[in-house]
Structure 1
Amino acid sequence: MEIETKGFRVDLSEARWYKSTRSGPNCDNCVEVAFVGGAIALRDSKNPTGPALIFTPDEWDAFVEGAKDGEFDL
């Protein structure tokens, strides 16, 4: 599946998806990430053929830093 967004043309059929090493084998609420075509894609691991969110490198960096800083903690 090829999509064009945010100035990227991304072919998700060529993506190599990674799940966090902290995700256990019995975990049912995981996401997977792929670095493809200069963009970062994120999808639900339970629905690999479903939609994916596409981030620019700057957006991804901001998200990761926010997560590290506890910005999204409830």
Structure 2
Amino acid sequence: MNIKTDDEFLVYMALGEESYMKEYYRVIEIDSTLSQVTGKLLRRTTADDKNIGLGRCELEGGIEQFALEDIYPVKE
């Protein structure tokens, strides 16, 4: 995957058996040794792209780490 600092990426999060939300992040750090990326949460949407806000994550800084294999680059 060709991703670099400041790129946006997408993570799918399950909300139940048949529902999910999309979380959009901006890359703030890439650790190629561990194949991980650290991102800052930008927005959350439902599966059909309706904005659902950031909720508690916004108060906690919204920074998370993901395996490179679990993220999807956002095409601009």
Q: TM-score, normalised by structure 2?
A: 0.28
Rg: which structure is higher? 1
Comparing both chains, which one has the higher relative contact order based on Cα–Cα distances under 8 Å and sequence gaps of 6 or more? 2
Q: Which structure shows the bigger proportion of residues in helix conformation?
A: 1
